[in-house]
Structure 1
């Protein structure tokens, strides 16, 4: 059985989790496309955060990578394979924990494995491993209502990671948490990422969170409500090392740069 620390490989032996977003566009039939000409290359094991003003297409982009929505033009490739719908190579964590209230922590983590055909023993062993990975070994027999919000989100993350996706997609996964719990969960995510090595694409409204967790930050702008299609304004590398100090001057300087990019006005010709 694959353990949480294993790095997945493709059939050719290369590291899995390479994502290519190629000239992606999405239109819902209005006068302005929701997104146009979005192109990104994400390396295996890389953590990329997507930020931008509301309506710029962050979550739409994530849903197309997940396969929940089809692009109007362009394509998404994961390890060279076109995305045509949801698949086990892409795990999705939402802001809503989505746990089954009648199942224990262990049963919630094991649920996807059982649905995928794992034996009861395999699912139980993997659930125990992934409960340990997210720091919930002592709570495997607890029910969701007995857990805090942060603990429930850890269960949701463990349930996805138990399926060993090569790409982990996260749409505002910590948005419903209070500030203290959110910071603790950011630390948890950073530690999990170091142990597992899965490619991560994170949509967040928090620029601090993006700088804390990502190798690169994709700043998107525009959107149909702004009269110009959503697009990538800039991709900014985060060169702050593995263990980051949110109080450091370099951290704050990068935050300020990203804030400026997010809130910069659109060119007059584009917004017209």
Structure 2
């Protein structure tokens, strides 16, 4: 193996999705750094990979990174893997990559499965432009504020969500984006109970609340971007208008923004009606 750090993608569910190159690299490196060694050991045992394994995650105390650095300095090779999918996509590791690059060591990707890309490929929504947001904040108020900041985004929105929060998150999306906004629940991708459900947000709320099984497992949520209304607003003006409309009657909010922007009050008021905030 050429000396360096290899960022290796592993299956997100179906063990058959690993690439032959990934297996070759995991067998050939001097050390494997894993987010959870107990979880990754099952994958390695399945493919008869008997290699040294150490933990590396956001709460590592620095000894693991020191060990990796020492090995690379001696001309060795290390593979970094996460619990599932492509490392560093809402997973720990970027500090390690930055540090090794800064020291002049080779860092090479070994591409493969990614829950984000897998979900987008079957969602049935536009994928020419998308925005990956990872996990939303756990606190309800902060979560809704984050969603409001995305309400006027035209690109398709992609989120990870924990199963115990999926019902509350869908309710928050319904309140912020409106019940008619199209969305997709992609759950347990490549696993036995895989679910891909496209519906309005109101329909997804009903679907998840009526079936407890949909509140389990690994979840990707995809939400259609905001469709432009007849009134074209820049993002900053739209955010200001929507913020005012949460505190004031829609007509008053439209009048204030019209006074300072030069836009027609009627058009601003119709915009608020079109996004169904009021």
TM-score range, shorter chain: under 0.3
Q: Pick the structure with more helix per residue.
A: 2
Q: Pick the structure with more strand per residue.
A: 1
Greater relative contact order (CA < 8 Å, ≥ 6 in sequence): 1
TM-score, normalised relative to structure 2? 0.25
